[in-house]
A and B are shown apart, each in its own frame.
Chain A
């Protein structure tokens, strides 16, 4: 689940300033679950745009806004969307860019994309993964220090840990102590005496994932 939050109204209104007819695109997946880009939010932005002298031309909530082909057909099939000056997209960064790739008209991002969240209960998401491209969870007792330690340390705890608490937020538990507790319960805490090597920063190199070829020949190659 990609967790998003609403941008401040002023920032969005500033970004749509130049455009008169604005079409809103929400998202039926993550942003609906995050309550940032569902039915309610699309209606509320329709009102806000109107109050600010704009001409909201309608809204659409595609199943997955992060799908370029789906965005192309969504825009093509809607006269209101096709005739708008700009799109206000209430979706994550991947959604905004899918709309941007599907149309040559300007897009305005209505949300900030926060993190890949683990759902605790409906509407409550925990910041557990940052899609860093190099998963260390097998070495850290299934708790991600890259995301959950404010410093993203691979070798902790740091000197800011006091009585099991984190230096950045005194009310929060130090994630490296949580990792230690888990390992200790398995008699495996000695792992902490071994260094985790510096992390390869790979995300800048990866631009695209190609479609997986499921033909028998290549499946054999992949299995090797």
Chain B
């Protein structure tokens, strides 16, 4: 059992934050942020070459989090590794004590900083979840027995703000059958729209943790809308950020409001920042009251 799995099972409102490993070996600030999150979140998501930008491995960075006494959610994508590498990393993670895993397909290399890299995608998010289920049951994907099964708590991603919606729901159903025990969504900015989405996903009975993105300027919000698939920040929010005397504080206010309304709809929030990790503790302080 992980702290995350216990909290979800106990219907606690779960709070997780996201940290990106560094591009390089200097981890001082990374560790500092981990310390600042201590006691404020249930777990910390560690991204795997997010947006296909090459960084320290999510496995190593997840271990750094664990070593500091915090619980990581180890994100693993199918972009950079075939089924051999993925399985050996998962076994390694479990042996190190990293138990929460978020199984992702991964962004295509063409959107990142190594656009000429060979995309692997030997597995996909669904077959990755299936692989974790197999490893937990004591055998590898090809049926060979393991000396010691893994003890992983697998989750998956969910895209709530898109059309057509039915294939998204069918994908969710497929991921649950393959072993997903919880879902984390991409950033949501319209909680009313999310409420109606949540009524559709509620029938599956698998907890959904809703994504919250901490904004810090109107320009950033516009860039995200233009550049990141699936992000739809409403104009009224962009206006608020643009007119605010202190846009960073306004961003924190907006995130706090979204988190407040998420409390009755989702089983938790997953807070993401784009390079504004230092504002995370302020936001967490705000919502703890």
Interface residues of A (CB under 8 A from B): 150-164, 167-168, 176-177, 180, 184, 189-190, 192-199, 201
Contact = CB atoms under 8 A, between A and B. Distances in A.
B285 interface: no
B122 interface: yes
B171 interface: yes
Nearest to B131: A198
Contacts of A157: 167-168, 171
A162 to B, nearest CB: 5
A161 B105 contact: no
Given A153-B121, A163-B163, A193 B173 contact: yes
A192 B170 contact: yes
Interface in B145-189: 157, 159, 162-164, 166-168, 170-171, 173-174, 177-178, 186
Contact of A167 (B121, B163, B167, B229): B229
A183 B18 CA distance: 37
A215 to B, nearest CB: 38
B253 interface: no
B279 interface: no
B42 interface: no
Given A192-B170, A193-B170, A160 B177 contact: no
B125 A198 contact: no
Contact of B159 (A154, A161, A199): A161
Interface residues of B, number: 36
Contacts of B157: 159
Q: Name the residue among A163, A189, A196, A197 with the largest chain B CB count within 10 angstroms.
A: A163
A190 B170 contact: yes
A198 B166 contact: no
Contact of B107 (A154, A156, A167, A192): A167
Nearest to A201: B122
A151 B124 contact: yes
A62 B126 CA distance: 48
Nearest to A160: B229
B166 A180 contact: yes
Contact of B125 (A155, A161, A180, A189): A155
B170 A189 contact: yes
Nearest to B142: A198
A177 B167 CA distance: 7
A150 B119 contact: yes
Nearest to B158: A159
B261 interface: no
Contacts of B47: none
Contacts of B122: 198-199, 201
A164 B229 CA distance: 11
